[in-house]
Chains A and B, each alone.
Chain A
Amino acid sequence: MEIVESAVHDEARQHAEEEALGALVDQYATTLYRVAFSVLRNQSDAEDAVQEAFLRVLRHRETLGEIRDHRVWLIRIVWNIVLDRKRRSKTRPETDDIADLTRVLPANGLNAEDRAAAAQHHNHVLGCIEKLPAREREVMMLSAFQELSSVEIAEVLGVTESSVRSRLFRARNLLAELLHHKRSIR
């Protein structure tokens, strides 16, 4: 009788965990996808990264109750995954990036030619961002997410808030120099 009760209890617990996990997916999958895409710049890679992040959550679901801020925790998980993937993957050709950007950028009433030009421009800017030192680049990319404060960025990166601010300042200066330099060359 005890065995049957514990089995029922297990099933109920499993069901509750699945529901909690499903709610997390509904709430944060889009945010995680955006974070992953900003680094990987490939739709299927970004989706894989989101999937892997939730699989990690599933494996450590017993710790879900101890997490204070699920959003920052999940972003941190997916951030580590995408950085790891990017480190391991070989450099993609620039033409692939431009093609991907053209496909995913919103149309906004632009014709195909304008969209391609816009994608090329954005790709050029992203190329300059890629030239920044890793620490500055990471802060810069995370700061583009409106929903992340500097405190939350610090939590994701595992550094202090003042460090985030100083890195962001340096990143902006470096990026402005890089972009201006490229413009003057043109």
Chain B
Amino acid sequence: MNLSMQENPAKNELNGSEAMSDAERTLRLIAALPAPEGLEERVKAGLRVAPRQAKVMLWPFLPMEGRRWMQRAATAAIVLVIAGGGWGVYSHIQPAPLPTAVSAPQPLNGGGGFNAAVARRVPQTLQGPVVSTPALTTEKGASGKSDGTVRKHGKRSGGKKSVEAAPTVR
């Protein structure tokens, strides 16, 4: 479209304005079309039979004053029924008795403090016989100092029993 318009702008502008006036003429012609005969009367007739306003309930057999009184009574009855029903439900609900003391949950493994997320479970085993490891003795030279009986830090291995049981390491 634009390419064709760029060929001869003056001519195309003229053509464009001609086309434009053509289009506007058409639109104006349609906008000025006469309305069909009796349109107003048909619209008025339609309005006469149309419901005036939306109603929840309609009592066609009651006169105007009776209708209003009945409407108010019905409204009051509906409100009473709804309120009564609500009260009935409310009054029948028994709230759970509040506990006097709250029991604390038992801690795992009987311990308190920090949690035992990384604790290692130790199996409960019977106490077996204790095997005492023999103390090792070393000779520290040929000076005869090592009599094999008492060493400086040999508190644990002190005594006759350990001396007798200890094998000599050479």
Chain A: residues with CB nearer than 8 A to chain B?
A: 3-4, 7, 10, 14, 18, 21-22, 25-26, 29-30, 33-34, 37-38, 41, 43, 47, 50-51, 54-55, 58-59, 104-106, 121-122, 125-126, 128-129, 140-141, 143-146, 172, 175-181, 183-184
Contacts and interface: CB of A to CB of B under 8 A. Distances in A.
B33 A4 contact: no
Contact of B35 (A34, A125, A184): A34
Interface in B35-70: 35-36, 39-40, 42-44, 46-47, 50, 52-54, 64-65, 68
Given A144-B28, A172-B20, 13 more contacts: A26-B40, A30-B34, A30-B39, A34-B30, A38-B30, A51-B43, A54-B47, A129-B27, A141-B27, A144-B27, A175-B19, A176-B20, A178-B1
Contact of A50 (B17, B43, B64): B43
The 3 closest A-B pairs by CB, nearest first: A179-B19, A144-B27, A176-B16
B98 interface: no
A185 to B, nearest CB: 10
B1 A177 contact: yes
B26 A122 contact: yes
Contacts of A18: 47
Contacts of A3: 64-65, 68
A14 B68 CA distance: 17
B5 to A, nearest CB: 7
B81 interface: no
Given A58-B50, A181-B4, A126 B26 contact: yes
Contacts, number: 118
Contact of A144 (B31, B36, B40, B52): B31
Nearest to B27: A144
B26 A125 contact: yes
A180 B5 contact: yes
B47 A25 contact: yes
B53 A59 contact: yes
A144 B32 CA distance: 9
B31 A4 contact: no
Given A3-B65, A126-B26, A144-B28, A179 B20 contact: yes
Contacts of B34: 30
B139 interface: no
A3 to B, nearest CB: 4
